[in-house]
């Protein structure tokens, strides 16, 4: 059993998504004590942004710059992490109605034609091996579920779920803590509820 654990919050010890993603991995380790964990902290070790040189190399242009070659190797490492993992845990806070730039940069490195998806006769096809599971930790300051009028502003969960499905990762469990900016009582209640969901995960 291999677990890939990704954090993308910039809040460090103040981050609820980091707390809940750690709780999720601890729960998984309790059930699978022999599991190995690969941890990627996208805030402490940011993924470099894509450039025109990256895109050219993806289209087959020769790579003659050593720094670009090293950077491409790092990007390939993120794909290797994803391909090797049986379970993926992603801490994904909402920033300005979407995912963090740190997580978006990781996505840009793992959603690569010919490696994690391809276009076939019937359209796009995800290339991730079947059987992988993902636990997505969603944290938000406001409330976007339960008929909330703010639901249309949720470009975080919709985007992340869609892009992972695009590369073949469809067995997804959401663990959500929202309303975190609506006062300490609301924040505490949301965290307790999410922690209860983690305890009760069907693993």
Find the CATH number of the domain harbouring 150: 3.40.50.360
pLDDT band at 83 (very low <50, low <70, confident <90, very high): very high
Q: What percent of the chain has pLDDT over 70?
A: 100
Does 98 show up as a binding residue in the annotation? no
Its pTM stands at 0.95
User: What mean pLDDT do residues 78-107 have?
Assistant: 98
63: domain range?
2-199
Q: Is residue 142 part of an annotated ligand binding site?
A: yes
135 annotated as a binding-site residue:
no
Half-sphere exposure for 131 (CA within 13 Å, toward CB): 7
Q: What is the pLDDT of residue 59?
A: 87
The domain tally of the chain equals: 1
Is there a binding annotation on residue 161?
no
Residue 96 among known ligand-binding residues: yes
Of 15, 139, 29, nearest to 87 by C-alpha is 29
144 is in an annotated binding site: no
> Is 166 labelled a binding residue?
no
- pLDDT value at residue 139: 98
Q: Reply yes or no on whether the pLDDT at 156 is more than 90.
A: yes
Is 97 marked as a binding-site residue? yes
């Amino acid at each position: 059993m291999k677990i890939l654990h990704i954090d993308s919050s910039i809040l460090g010890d103040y981050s609820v998504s980091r707390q809940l993603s750690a709780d999720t991995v601890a729960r998984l380790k309790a059930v699978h004590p022999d599991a190995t964990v690969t941890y990627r902290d996208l805030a402490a070790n940011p993924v470099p942004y894509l450039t025109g040189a990256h895109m050219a190399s993806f289209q087959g242009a020769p790579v003659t710059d050593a720094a670009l070659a090293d950077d491409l190797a790092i990007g390939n490492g993120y794909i290797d992490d994803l391909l090797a993992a049986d379970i993926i845990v992603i801490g994904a806070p909402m920033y300005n109605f979407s995912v963090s730039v740190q997580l978006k940069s990781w996505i840009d490195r793992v959603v690569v034609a010919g490696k994690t998806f391809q276009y076939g006769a019937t359209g796009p096809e995800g290339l991730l091996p079947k059987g992988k599971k993902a636990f997505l930790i969603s944290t938000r300051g406001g409330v976007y579920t339960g008929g909330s009028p703010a639901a249309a502003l949720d470009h975080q969960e919709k985007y992340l779920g869609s892009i992972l499905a695009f590369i073949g990762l469809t067995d997804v469990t959401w663990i959500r803590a929202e309303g975190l900016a609506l006062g300490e009582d609301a924040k505490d209640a949301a965290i307790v509820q999410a922690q209860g969901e983690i305890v009760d995960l069907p693993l």
